[in-house]
Amino acid sequence: MENGMKWYVIHTYSGYENKVMATLERKVKSMGLENVINRILVPMEDEVDMKDGKKRTVKRKIFPGYVLVEMEVNDRSWYVVRNTPGVTGFVGSATKPTPLTEEEVKSILKSQGVDAEPKIQIAVDIGEQVRITSGPFENFIATITEINKEKGTLKGLIDMFGRETSVEVDYSQIEKSLE
């Protein structure tokens, strides 16, 4: 993980995990902290239980009272997380949060169906032109119409057989085109 981004565990009041996650996500957006606080996760698993003779699947928190945050710890990011309502502190010493090991991170993220490797981030804007570098549309120039940061994909229009055709490609399949 580049630039000091590591996964940390935040201790929360029990039952506040999702509230803390939502509040933190809002704070990160409103304060422009996307470059220091990356992903926030409340690990869940499916649990089947019987009620009135019927099987039902419920989502259960794997670590009740804890939220995982991928972040770079600095005074500002630490302060923002620490002062989120419902957060009682970081796991680690009072002044220095202890990051999870890479093995712990890999196994938790795998159990959540999330890639341990963060998605490629690319600075492109809607309307910008990019060159597709791999896949069936290799070497086509696409004009970006939609960007999905969560999935790490974008949609763009390419000129195919004299018509504009919409295609979806992964960030890893494009490069900024040099006008």
Please tell me the distance from the alpha carbon of residue 131 to that of residue 176, in angstroms, as a whole number. 6
Q: What is the CA radius of gyration of the chain?
A: 20
Residues 71 and 100 in one domain: yes
pLDDT value at 63 more than 60: yes
Residues 89 and 8 in one domain: yes
- At 2, is the pLDDT very low, low, confident or very high (cuts 50, 70, 90)? very low
Question: What's the CATH code of the domain at 33?
Answer: 3.30.70.940
Please calculate the CA angle 110-119-20 and round it to the nearest 5 degrees. 70
Helix (H) or strand (E) holding 15: none
Provide the 3-class DSSP secondary structure of residue 102. helix
Which of 88-97, 106-115, 134-143 has the highest mean predicted lDDT (pLDDT)? 134-143
Please tell me the distance from the alpha carbon of residue 109 to that of residue 142, in angstroms, as a whole number. 33
User: Has residue 156 been placed in a domain?
Assistant: yes
Question: Residue 137 gets which letter from DSSP?
Answer: T
Residues 29 and 89 in one domain: yes
C-alpha distances (whole Å) from 43 to each of 22, 73, 100 are 14, 21, 14
Residues 77 and 104 in one domain: yes
- Overall average pLDDT of the 26-38 stretch: 93
The helices-and-strands tally (H runs, E runs) of the chain is 3, 11
Q: Which amino acid is at 171?
A: Y
Show the tokens assigned to 66: 């804890």
User: Has residue 121 been placed in a domain?
Assistant: no
Q: Which amino acid is at 19?
A: K
**pTM confidence score:** 0.61
Tally of domains within the chain: 2
User: Has residue 116 been placed in a domain?
Assistant: no
Q: Return phi, psi of residue 31, to 5°.
A: -100, 5
Residues 71 and 146 in one domain: no
User: Has residue 115 been placed in a domain?
Assistant: no
pLDDT at 178: 63
Find the domain containing 162 and state its range. 126-174
